[in-house]
Amino acid sequence: DTEVTQTPKHLVMGMTNKKSLKCEQHMGHRAMYWYKQKAKKPPELMFVYSYEKLSINESVPSRFSPECPNSSLLNLHLHALQPEDSALYLCASTQGAGYTFGSGTRLTVV
Protein backbone atom coordinates (compact mmCIF):
# COMPACT_ATOMS: atom_id res chain seq x y z
CA ASP A 1 0.00 0.00 0.00
CA THR A 2 1.67 3.21 -1.15
CA GLU A 3 -1.19 5.60 -0.55
CA VAL A 4 -2.33 8.21 1.87
CA THR A 5 -6.11 8.06 2.15
CA GLN A 6 -8.11 11.09 3.20
CA THR A 7 -11.80 11.27 4.08
CA PRO A 8 -14.11 12.90 3.36
CA LYS A 9 -13.18 14.19 -0.10
CA HIS A 10 -15.56 17.14 0.24
CA LEU A 11 -17.00 18.83 3.31
CA VAL A 12 -19.34 21.77 3.72
CA MET A 13 -19.77 23.03 7.25
CA GLY A 14 -21.32 25.95 9.03
CA MET A 15 -19.34 28.24 11.28
CA THR A 16 -20.85 26.68 14.40
CA ASN A 17 -20.29 23.05 13.37
CA LYS A 18 -17.74 20.56 14.63
CA LYS A 19 -16.31 18.17 12.10
CA SER A 20 -13.21 16.01 11.68
CA LEU A 21 -10.92 15.17 8.79
CA LYS A 22 -9.30 11.77 8.69
CA CYS A 23 -6.02 10.59 7.19
CA GLU A 24 -4.65 7.05 7.02
CA GLN A 25 -1.43 5.50 5.73
CA HIS A 26 -0.04 1.98 5.97
CA MET A 27 3.45 2.58 4.63
CA GLY A 28 5.05 2.60 8.07
CA HIS A 29 5.93 6.28 7.73
CA ARG A 30 6.62 7.80 11.13
CA ALA A 31 6.15 11.45 10.18
CA MET A 32 2.73 12.76 9.21
CA TYR A 33 1.67 16.25 8.26
CA TRP A 34 -1.33 18.48 7.75
CA TYR A 35 -1.11 21.10 5.05
CA LYS A 36 -3.57 23.75 3.91
CA GLN A 37 -3.69 24.83 0.28
CA LYS A 38 -5.59 27.80 -1.10
CA ALA A 39 -6.28 28.16 -4.83
CA LYS A 40 -3.21 28.90 -6.97
CA LYS A 41 -0.94 28.76 -3.93
CA PRO A 42 1.52 26.11 -2.75
CA PRO A 43 0.67 23.98 0.29
CA GLU A 44 1.26 25.63 3.67
CA LEU A 45 2.40 23.53 6.60
CA MET A 46 0.06 23.40 9.60
CA PHE A 47 1.20 20.53 11.84
CA VAL A 48 3.89 17.88 11.98
CA TYR A 49 3.62 14.63 13.90
CA SER A 50 6.75 12.59 14.43
CA TYR A 51 6.42 9.17 16.04
CA GLU A 52 2.84 10.06 17.04
CA LYS A 53 3.94 13.17 18.91
CA LEU A 54 3.10 16.68 17.80
CA SER A 55 6.44 18.25 16.98
CA ILE A 56 5.52 21.31 14.94
CA ASN A 57 2.54 23.66 15.13
CA GLU A 58 2.96 26.48 12.64
CA SER A 59 1.00 29.00 14.73
CA VAL A 60 -2.28 27.50 13.64
CA PRO A 61 -5.46 28.90 15.31
CA SER A 62 -6.92 26.72 18.05
CA ARG A 63 -10.07 26.12 16.01
CA PHE A 64 -7.91 23.48 14.28
CA SER A 65 -6.99 20.62 16.60
CA PRO A 66 -4.83 17.74 15.37
CA GLU A 67 -4.78 14.26 16.83
CA CYS A 68 -2.64 11.19 16.11
CA PRO A 69 -4.36 8.14 17.64
CA ASN A 70 -1.73 5.71 16.28
CA SER A 71 1.10 5.50 13.78
CA SER A 72 -1.28 5.03 10.83
CA LEU A 73 -3.95 7.59 11.60
CA LEU A 74 -4.07 11.36 11.72
CA ASN A 75 -7.15 13.44 12.44
CA LEU A 76 -7.85 17.14 12.20
CA HIS A 77 -10.73 18.34 14.36
CA LEU A 78 -12.48 21.48 13.20
CA HIS A 79 -14.60 23.79 15.31
CA ALA A 80 -15.98 27.29 14.82
CA LEU A 81 -14.23 27.80 11.50
CA GLN A 82 -14.38 30.97 9.45
CA PRO A 83 -15.19 31.29 5.74
CA GLU A 84 -11.53 32.15 5.07
CA ASP A 85 -10.63 28.65 6.32
CA SER A 86 -12.17 27.23 3.14
CA ALA A 87 -9.34 25.42 1.34
CA LEU A 88 -7.96 22.05 0.31
CA TYR A 89 -6.61 20.26 3.38
CA LEU A 90 -3.84 17.83 2.58
CA CYS A 91 -2.37 15.08 4.67
CA ALA A 92 1.10 13.78 3.89
CA SER A 93 3.52 11.24 5.27
CA THR A 94 7.19 10.62 4.82
CA GLN A 95 10.08 8.44 5.85
CA GLY A 96 13.06 10.50 4.76
CA ALA A 97 12.74 12.76 1.76
CA GLY A 98 9.79 12.91 -0.58
CA TYR A 99 6.33 13.36 0.84
CA THR A 100 3.40 11.17 -0.15
CA PHE A 101 0.28 13.32 -0.21
CA GLY A 102 -3.32 12.29 0.01
CA SER A 103 -5.89 13.64 -2.45
CA GLY A 104 -7.10 16.10 0.13
CA THR A 105 -10.38 17.21 1.64
CA ARG A 106 -11.96 20.20 -0.04
CA LEU A 107 -13.50 22.17 2.81
CA THR A 108 -16.06 24.91 2.36
CA VAL A 109 -17.13 26.93 5.39
CA VAL A 110 -20.46 28.70 5.00
Interacting residues toward other proteins by CB under 8 A: 4, 6, 31, 40-43, 45, 48, 50, 55-56, 88, 90, 92, 94, 96-104, 106
Nearer to other proteins, 1 or 40 (CB): 40
Distance CA(56)–CA(106), nearest Å, equals: 23
Q: How far is the CB of 96 from other proteins (least distance, A)?
A: 7
- Residue 52 burial by CB count (10 A; 0-12/13-18/19+): exposed, middle or buried? middle
Residue 18 or 38 having the CB closest to other proteins: 38
